[in-house]
Chain A
Amino acid sequence: MSIKPTVNDLNWKIAGEAGYGIKSIGLMFSKICARGGLHIFDYSEYPSLIRGGHNTYQVNVGSEEKWSPKIAVNLLVALDQLTIDLHKDELEEGGGLIYDNEDKKIDVSVIDAKKYNLFPIPLTKLAEAAGGKKVMRNSVALGASVGLISYDFELLKAMIKDEFRRKGDEIVDLNIKIAEAGYNYVRDNFNVEKFPFKLKPIKGPKQMVLTANEAIGMGAIVAGCKFMSAYPMTPFTSILHYLAANGEKHNILVKQTEDEISAITMALGASFAGVRAMTGTSGGGFSLMVEALGLSGITETPIVIAEVMRPGPATGLPTWTEQSDLQFLIHASQGEFPRIIIAPGDVREAFYATQHAFNLAEKYQLPVFILSDKFISESNKSEEFFETDKLKIERGALVSDVELKKIKKFKRYKFTDTGISPRSIPGQPGGMHNANSDEHDEFGYSSEDAENRARMVEKRALKIEEAQKELPDPVLYGPENSDVTIISWGSTKGPILEAMKLCERDKQKVNFLHIAYVFPFPDEKVKAIIRKAKNIVLVENNFTAQLGSLIREFTGEEIENKLLKYSGRQFYPSEIQGYISDILKN
């Protein structure tokens, strides 16, 4: 086995039964890499159970920006036999396997020792000898991992200190001792210099390690969101957790409601009363919210809704991923009214899109969606601190008390050239109005008059034309001219960008149009790209090619090459490159 040494390009994976602390150890590995100036993208799989079931956590780390997980693993920590059974084929040649050689249930005879590096380490024994319990063997494995890849143990030490500081010096020291036991064991017992995969800290700006859900929470805070009502639903729930944890500090009232119908209508009440409000859920919860989407539409009450998708229908796969709610959101609720759907492709986009969503909701007085999915909403990515200096809060046509004084009869739903009417809030003298779910006249009083009805429909529709003027175009990645043009939306961005790196390595000319502001559909830009492209590939994490339908609807173009995945798993870059290679061969 002679494998070319690789520095700063590593895929590390830990797996075992739920309850082994896999998530916390995985996140620590991600953070020590990011603290060493390296870029990470991590990814975790787990079933919808609290105890038992198989959990995995993998960290793709390197000196270049990492956009997605990849399949080939360089160092695998197996906390049980199932990990070996399920993931042995993911090991890259020369890759290492850490396992507890004193665990009698573990059998590594299936692993070809000539092809892979076996690292038998008495994980439990070392944890116990250092004064810890069996469950802390994951810390031994973390220390051992750091030792095997010749990374800086001081970074892990500092991480442990930060992580356990609240629990006191004793716990900090114990955890350091346990990690050190793993680190020292591999340095003493194996020739780590010969292990081909290494990490070395590099200089770089300070980095966060965070999920899109956390970025959405931060985006809401910086946008001045003051109220969130929601009902927990995986994989949305961590947004609710994040805002609840920040509620006191940033003066955001977070209310867990009795159901999703209450969640959205309560947020609408808060918004009607003048605060920036949001709700969030996954597809199942949004099914319950649908009637209130129309309520936002006809009362022209701004609201931001974070919909974090998981595979449906019904309960579906609660802890897995899919992009199957796009058409649902576009068509949700009876009647016709405008809405905006933003599907960020990564954590950075999730942050800025959320901040922007609050401005759009208030300026155009309509519902705005942040459409994410389990894949990016629960995967961590390393990112520099977000730039907030240039962010503006735009509240649209809110009228001041002074302006109201000059108006004799305030028309909340006044017909205007843009369809946007002045908005007052309860408590303002002279701004009294009826935010009416019935069709209404300019004051908000119920009206069944035919002419008024038609004008109101047109007025509401007009707003989206106005909004479209400021919505960002889709972004083209890669060269202007290429042999293959990929078109996709939302969270597939990361795996596609990684696939493009593989294509570049193999001299395949590929570019990629990513649509984040997906509805109203940017038809002109998409049409222009499609007309120029030699070969077009549509990539979507769903069965029915929902973006493909939109493209056909709004551009008349049919994309024949569709790479669709609906197994509940996101794309791996190698799958995308494989598809592109086939296209180029034909």
Chain B
Amino acid sequence: MKPEELNTPHDPTWCPACGNFGIWIALKKAITELNLDPNHVAVSYGIGCSGNENNFVKTYAFHSLHGRALPPAAGIKFANDALTVLAIGGDGDAYGEGGNHFIHACKNNYDITYLVHDNQLYSLTTGQASPTSQKGMATTTTPEGIIEDPLNPISLALAANATFVARGFSGRADHLSGLIKQAIQHKGFSFIDILQNCVTFNKLNTFQFFNQRIYDMNAEGYEANDRQKAHAKAMEWGDRIPIGIFYQEEKPSYNSVVSQKRNGTLVEQSLEKADLTPNFEKMV
């Protein structure tokens, strides 16, 4: 299967040169390179430019609400463990509206992959500040500049015990596609914060801004097996910005240990009459 076969009849509606194109290409490439049957892939989308991707990737899709990409993804995986399940959202989705779900998905270690299109801005709503917008940035809601420091998604995921924590860049589609492949193959919650440019509204964190600063930390010898080191690495943000895997840990996923799986996935269970007699007897 070729990545183009995952296209739908609808062309992407993103602005020309939007970072979403790179992420879109990387995702399709990862799915095809892993030889996944798109009938067995389910993606839950949030709301925003990233969420609009629901119309452009031919898999089973659940287009959820703003901030709510993760819980349906967890629900889909609970229902059918045999599926490959991804959640896709933006920085507002993931770290603003859906912050609580993000923390708990990390902690719960659901066996799903979370791709966050992080353009440091609310773009579909024409450019308001997001949780990851740079301090001082003037936006439509912060005309005098953002007062506070941005949230650090990598540190947050690490603090919440995520078992796969990575960062990619939309401008390095091949590297990103490799990360997505590893994330999908990871047993447990895998999270990639994907830096991307917004050509229309974000004039600070442009393609050039990232392109000049990012470097592949794993290629430079950083090993992703130490939580302490990962915490330190997560703080690196300046002239050099690391991409790659910060931390990965093998730990049984939530889905792999629930007892309800013993007779196959939930969706395979027979719905035919449960015998309630013992339940009735207990009430006597």
Contacts and interface: CB of A to CB of B under 8 A. Distances in A.
Report whether chain A binds chain B.
Answer: yes
Given A210-B283, A248-B260, A445-B10, A268 B72 contact: yes
B75 A273 contact: yes
B9 A445 contact: yes
A262 B42 contact: no
Contact of B258 (A253, A263, A431, A444): A253
A541 B82 CA distance: 48
A393 B272 CA distance: 7
A425 interface: yes
Contacts of A431: 39, 60
13 contacts: A261-B68, A262-B70, A266-B72, A269-B73, A269-B78, A271-B79, A272-B76, A273-B76, A386-B280, A436-B54, A437-B65, A445-B55, A446-B63
Given A273-B79, A426-B41, A428-B39, 4 more contacts: A218-B279, A226-B266, A270-B75, A277-B79
A265 B75 contact: yes
B284 interface: yes
Contacts of B277: 385
Contacts of A391: 273
Closest 9 CB pairs of A and B: A269-B75, A224-B271, A269-B72, A208-B283, A273-B79, A270-B75, A426-B60, A266-B75, A266-B71
Given A247-B260, A262-B101, A206 B284 contact: yes
Given A207-B284, A432-B60, A445-B9, A426 B80 contact: yes
A275 B284 CA distance: 31
A432 B64 contact: no
B63 A253 contact: no
A54 to B, nearest CB: 27
Interface string B116-142: 000000000000000000000000000
Contacts of A435: 61-63
Given A269-B44, A386-B280, A432 B71 contact: no
A269 B59 CA distance: 15
A291 B65 CA distance: 8
A262 B83 contact: no
A400 interface: no
B79 A274 contact: yes
Contact of B64 (A222, A263, A395, A437): A437
B284 A31 contact: yes
A258 B116 CA distance: 20
A251 interface: yes
Nearest to A446: B55
A44 B87 CA distance: 45
Interface in A250-305: 250-253, 255, 257-259, 261-263, 265-277, 291-292, 295, 299
Contact of B63 (A229, A271, A438): A438
B100 interface: yes
Contacts of B52: 446
A552 B266 CA distance: 45
Contact of A268 (B39, B55, B75, B278): B75
A62 B47 CA distance: 58
Nearest to B264: A251
Contacts of A226: 79, 260, 266-267, 269, 271
Nearest to B80: A273
Contacts of A262: 68, 70-71, 100-101, 104
A227 B71 CA distance: 13
Residue from A221, A263, A273, A295 with most neighbouring chain B CB atoms (10 Å): A273
B25 interface: no
Contacts of A222: 273-274, 276
B267 A275 contact: yes
Nearest to A435: B62
Contact of A276 (B8, B58, B260, B271): B271
A267 B74 CA distance: 9
Contacts of A271: 75, 79
B259 interface: yes
A271 B42 CA distance: 13
B263 interface: yes
Interface size band for B: 35 or more
B240 interface: no
B8 to A, nearest CB: 7
Interface of A: 31, 34-35, 206-210, 214, 218, 221-224, 226-227, 229, 246-253, 255, 257-259, 261-263, 265-277, 291-292, 295, 299, 385-386, 388, 391, 393, 395, 425-438, 444-446
Nearest to A385: B280
A274 B60 CA distance: 12
A253 B273 contact: no
Contact of A426 (B55, B76, B279): B76
A252 B68 CA distance: 23
B217 interface: no
A272 B62 contact: yes
Contacts of B280: 208, 218, 385-386
A433 B60 contact: yes
B69 to A, nearest CB: 9
A427 B267 contact: yes
B241 interface: no
Contact of B276 (A218, A261, A425): A218
B22 interface: no
B89 to A, nearest CB: 13
Contacts of A207: 284
Nearest to B40: A427
B260 A275 contact: no
Contact of A224 (B10, B68, B274): B274
Contacts of A432: 38-39, 58-60
For B37, B79, B80, the residue with the greatest tally of chain A CB atoms inside 10 Å of its CB is B79
Contacts of B80: 273-275, 425-427
Contacts of B60: 426-427, 431-433
A194 B60 CA distance: 75
B156 interface: no
Contact of B76 (A263, A270, A428): A270
A462 B49 CA distance: 32
Interface string B82-107: 11000000000000000011011000
Contacts of A259: 100
A207 to B, nearest CB: 7
A251 B103 CA distance: 27
A140 B131 CA distance: 62
Contacts of A251: 260, 262-263, 266, 269
Contacts of A275: 79-80, 266-267, 269
A388 B276 contact: yes
Contacts of B79: 226-227, 269-275, 277
Nearest to B63: A436
A146 B82 CA distance: 57
Contact of A299 (B59, B62, B83, B279): B62
Nearest to B38: A432
Contact of A393 (B44, B82, B271): B271
